[in-house]
């Protein structure tokens, strides 16, 4: 029985690639140094999978930024502003597209489906001159082969690539991106021919768009694309991989009828309905890659249940055509549980990271042919039983409190317009008030202080003193810049979710459970294993301390329940919305304690609310109902004069704008600049937003410093569709990933732009 891994984490068990990338970007190491680190990581990954017994091992899943940007480079689809004309695309152009440079901004970044991973959005139009400009796929295949590992090269499929793209600036909205298929398929043919020439016998096309609600002409594009590629693919085994959800019935028919395709991969964890389609109709003689090991969560597989599923599929497709696989790339999970030497032993027994999931896949494949590892299966059954019966999972009082939420929508009693009036009397802010999103740069020294405190190398007294000094520095910087509503900079926090999870019951934490979010940015998601509650206040001391240092309003900074949920590894033994309501009640307690502590502006970030939106439209309403309700629970008890902010970033918000309004926040700050101000289009189309709103005026994920004039121009575009009395001026997101040498001039220009527009508005009266 064969086994397959869709993809694997690329950062390394100790984030080796992250540090190599940042060293290269800072000019401290060379391109050769970066390539050496990445080659060593790839070698380790391929050898690990080979040693584990995996037959179909992926290559070309190792991206320096993301796999869609890799495809953009392969196709030579570089926007003209980066000055590339021909030749192999190198790091300078590649990273300029991802991060921008001193003279031009980066391309748009958005979420990869409903995950916390991001990709750089291709900018396409009729004028793009495609060419074969990156040979990475072929080079990586050859690299693995030289190590004695025959891999399955992975490419983002041509149709998914186009459907994940956006129209370049100035391209008519009526232009159909799928009309570019005839221009990109010749390049795919070149790549395929080179891979065949290098000895590849299998190739994997990731076509995740198959799980979306697609119109007939989009499904037809898949058929046309693979019919065109059929002759080039001749002699290869071709796998088309889907993931993250069920494949709709019509899409399933199209997928399983594609010309030249010999295998189909399905996510059978999040796509359980697809099982029925497979059992009722699967093309004879084709391979089924059955994704029964979860690539997006960290819970140990129920091996006995998976084996039953696989055995039922054997009768449909035949023993020799069934391949055991992961549900999606393991990119979305942590790397290796072996590195977790301090994690609670019982909880650790319930988990499986990427390395362990590789072993699970192999164990299931062997069990199907009668080579069951009895000890491994017995240990798995014992761990599952332990988790089901453990008293640490259940808290009866929390469950009762969450159950009591039913029957109320938890709205604040007063309308937002009246609340804003009450808040203005208290805060006395100018028009176009300026603020930032929360975090300030996390310096090497600051990280050292936190690290030494955790390791008990410095006392609590010394730690508190150091953090207070950092807060004072951040407050002084903001006052010097004349920012209106301040933040304390979050120096006590390494991560916005991890910080809260560490102080909530029902959460566990890892030492090295890092997961890539974008580029070199890694997060360490908490593990929600049980019922959630707040034993004591979490942020009140630091927020009150910061407020005591200034007469200006100081925001209390919290992470919202939906974002904590979506950025954690969530328990899979109860519905997600039940866990979210528990988190909401915990955050509600914190909000009310902040208000009692004298904090008049409280920001409850819901950066990941859009991210959790199901991929199928039929499931949107239920999710948005409980997600928005969870946010309202957190702040339904505050006074009218307490201003509630929320923040969202790097997603397409236009299709959920009415749910955003329904959140009933007093002010929302929201990403806008990197997406070419796409957000503003909803207001141009007539959507009325009566609360305060701060569409971001500059992209913080690029080192580029925008000018005062550029920011003023953005603000004027906003004023064309939004009332001046509701508009705020702020960056796109938090500033923790930037340096002070970038932050100070950018914020100065932002404040100067706000003052310039205020002056213009005043003189025009």
Binding-site residue positions for 5-methyltetrahydropteroyltri-L-glutamate: 18, 116, 521-522, 567
Annotated binding site for Zn(2+): 647, 649, 658, 662, 671, 733
The residue among 289, 278, 159, 166 whose CA lies nearest residue 227 is 159
Q: Mapped to the 3 state alphabet, what secondary structure does 513-533 carry?
A: CCEEEECCEEECCCEEEEEEE
Interhelix angle 576-596/396-403, rounded to 10 degrees, is 90
Cα separation, 682 vs 721, in Å, equals: 9
Interhelix angle 444-454/460-481, rounded to 10 degrees, is 150
435 and 728 in contact (C-beta within 8 Å)?
Answer: yes
Cα separation, 235 vs 260, in Å, equals: 9
Q: Is 701 a catalytic residue?
A: yes
> Phi, psi (5° rounding) for residue 561?
-65, -35
The residue among 532, 552, 553, 453 whose CA lies nearest residue 493 is 453
The residue among 228, 21, 57, 235 whose CA lies nearest residue 141 is 57
533 and 582 in contact (C-beta within 8 Å)?
Answer: yes
Cα separation, 608 vs 563, in Å, equals: 5
695 and 437 in contact (C-beta within 8 Å)?
Answer: no
254 and 219 in contact (C-beta within 8 Å)?
Answer: yes
Annotated binding site for L-methionine: 437-439, 490, 605
577 and 629 in contact (C-beta within 8 Å)?
Answer: no
The residue among 732, 727, 698 whose CA lies nearest residue 714 is 698
Cα separation, 576 vs 582, in Å, equals: 10
Annotated binding site: 18, 116, 437-439, 490, 521-522, 567, 605, 647, 649, 658, 662, 671, 733
Report residue 472 as tokens.
């004072």
End-to-end CA distance of the chain: 78
Query: Hey, how many other C-beta atoms are within 10 angstroms of the C-beta on 201?
Result: 11
Based on DSSP, count helices (H) and strands (E) in the chain, helices before strands: 27, 22
- The length of the chain, given as a count of residues: 765
211 and 245 in contact (C-beta within 8 Å)?
Answer: yes
Report residue 343 as tokens.
């994690």
DSSP 264-288: EEEESSS-HHHHHHHHH---TT-EE
- CB burial of residue 692 (10 Å; 0-12, 13-18, 19+): buried
Tabulate helix, strand, coil % of the chain (nearest 5).
45, 15, 40
Q: 144 Cβ partners below 8 Å, 6+ apart? A: 42, 46, 57, 59, 150, 151
- Give whole-number Cα distances, 22 to 118, 219, 617, in Å: 18, 41, 39
Catalytic, out of 118, 488, 577, 701: 701
Q: 679 Cβ partners below 8 Å, 6+ apart? A: 653, 654, 670, 671, 672, 695
β-strand 527-533 against 505-508: which pairing, if any? antiparallel
- Give whole-number Cα distances, 422 to 352, 595, 666, in Å: 51, 15, 11
Catalytic residues: 701
């Amino acid at each position: 029985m064969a086994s397959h891994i869709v993809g694997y984490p690329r950062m390394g068990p100790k984030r080796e690639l992250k540090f190599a990338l940042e060293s290269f970007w800072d000019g401290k190491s060379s391109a050769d140094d970066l390539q050496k680190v990445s080659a060593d990581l790839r070698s380790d990954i391929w050898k690990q999978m080979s040693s584990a017994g995996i037959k179909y091992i992926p290559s070309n899943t190792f991206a320096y930024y993301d796999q869609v940007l890799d495809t953009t480079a392969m196709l030579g689809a570089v926007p003209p502003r980066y000055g590339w004309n021909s030749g192999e695309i190198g790091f300078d152009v590649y990273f300029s597209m991802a991060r921008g440079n001193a003279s031009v901004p980066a391309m748009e970044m958005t979420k990869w489906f409903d995950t916390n991973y991001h990709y750089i959005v291709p900018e396409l139009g009729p004028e793009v001159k495609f060419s074969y400009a990156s040979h990475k796929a072929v080079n990586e295949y050859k690299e693995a082969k030289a190590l004695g590992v025959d891999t399955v090269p992975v490419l983002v499929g041509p149709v998914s690539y186009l459907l994940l793209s956006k129209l370049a600036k100035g391209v008519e909205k009526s232009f159909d991106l799928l009309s570019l298929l005839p221009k990109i398929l010749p390049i795919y043919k070149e790549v395929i021919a080179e891979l065949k020439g290098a000895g590849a016998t299998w190739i994997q096309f990731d076509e995740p768009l198959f799980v979306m609600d697609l119109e007939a002409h989009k499904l037809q594009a898949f058929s046309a694309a693979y019919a065109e590629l059929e002759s080039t693919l001749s002699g290869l085994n071709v796998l088309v991989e889907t993931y993250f959800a069920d494949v709709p019935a019509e899409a399933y028919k199209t997928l399983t009828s594609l010309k030249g395709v010999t295998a189909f991969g399905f996510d059978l964890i999040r796509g359980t309905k697809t099982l029925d389609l497979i059992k009722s109709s699967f093309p004879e003689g084709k391979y089924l890659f059955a994704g029964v090991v979860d690539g997006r969560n960290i819970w140990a597989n129920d091996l006995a249940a998976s084996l039953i599923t696989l055995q039922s599929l054997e009768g449909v497709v035949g023993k020799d055509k069934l391949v055991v696989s992961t549900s999606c790339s393991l990119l979305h999970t942590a790397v290796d549980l072996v590195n977790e030497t301090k994690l609670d032993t019982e909880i650790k027994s319930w988990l499986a990271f990427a390395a362990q999931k590789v072993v699970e896949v192999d164990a299931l494949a062997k069990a199907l042919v009668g080579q069951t590892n009895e000890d491994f299966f017995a240990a798995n059954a014992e761990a599952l039983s332990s988790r089901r019966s453990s008293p640490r999972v259940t808290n009866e009082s929390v469950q009762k409190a969450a159950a009591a939420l039913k029957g109320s929508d938890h709205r604040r009693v007063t309308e937002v317009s009246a609340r804003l009036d009450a808040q203005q009397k208290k805060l006395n802010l100018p028009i176009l008030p300026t603020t930032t999103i929360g975090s300030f740069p996390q310096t090497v020294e600051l990280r050292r202080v936190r690290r030494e405190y955790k390791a008990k190398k410095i006392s609590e007294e010394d730690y508190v003193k150091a953090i207070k000094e950092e807060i004072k520095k951040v407050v002084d910087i903001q006052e010097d810049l004349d920012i209106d509503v301040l933040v304390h900079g979050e120096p006590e926090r390494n991560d916005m979710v991890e910080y809260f999870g560490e102080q909530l019951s029902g959460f566990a934490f890892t030492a090295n459970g890092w997961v890539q979010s974008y580029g070199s940015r890694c997060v360490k998601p908490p593990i929600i294993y049980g019922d959630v509650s707040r034993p004591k206040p979490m942020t009140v001391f630091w927020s009150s301390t910061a407020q005591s240092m200034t007469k200006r309003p100081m925001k209390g900074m919290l992470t919202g329940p939906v974002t904590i949920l979506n950025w954690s590894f969530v328990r899979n033994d109860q519905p997600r919305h039940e866990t979210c309501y528990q988190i909401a009640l915990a955050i509600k307690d914190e909000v009310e304690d902040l208000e009692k502590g004298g904090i008049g502006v409280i920001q409850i970030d819901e950066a990941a609310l859009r991210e959790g939106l199901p991929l199928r439209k039929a499931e949107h309403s239920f999710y948005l109902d409980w997600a928005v309700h969870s946010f309202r629970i957190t702040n339904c008890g505050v006074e009218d004069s307490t201003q509630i902010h929320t923040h969202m970033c790097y997603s397409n918000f236009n299709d959920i704008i009415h749910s955003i309004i329904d959140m009933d926040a007093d002010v929302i700050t929201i990403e806008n600049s990197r997406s070419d101000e796409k957000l503003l289009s909803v207001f141009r189309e007539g959507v009325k937003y009566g609360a305060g709103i701060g569409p971001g005026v500059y992209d913080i994920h690029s080192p580029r410093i925008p000018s005062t004039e550029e920011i003023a121009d953005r603000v004027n575009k906003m004023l064309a569709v939004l009332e001046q009395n509701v508009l705020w001026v702020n960056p796109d997101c938090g500033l923790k990933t930037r340096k002070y040498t970038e932050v100070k001039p950018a914020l100065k220009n932002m404040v100067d732009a706000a003052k310039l527009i205020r002056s213009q508005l005043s003189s025009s009266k």
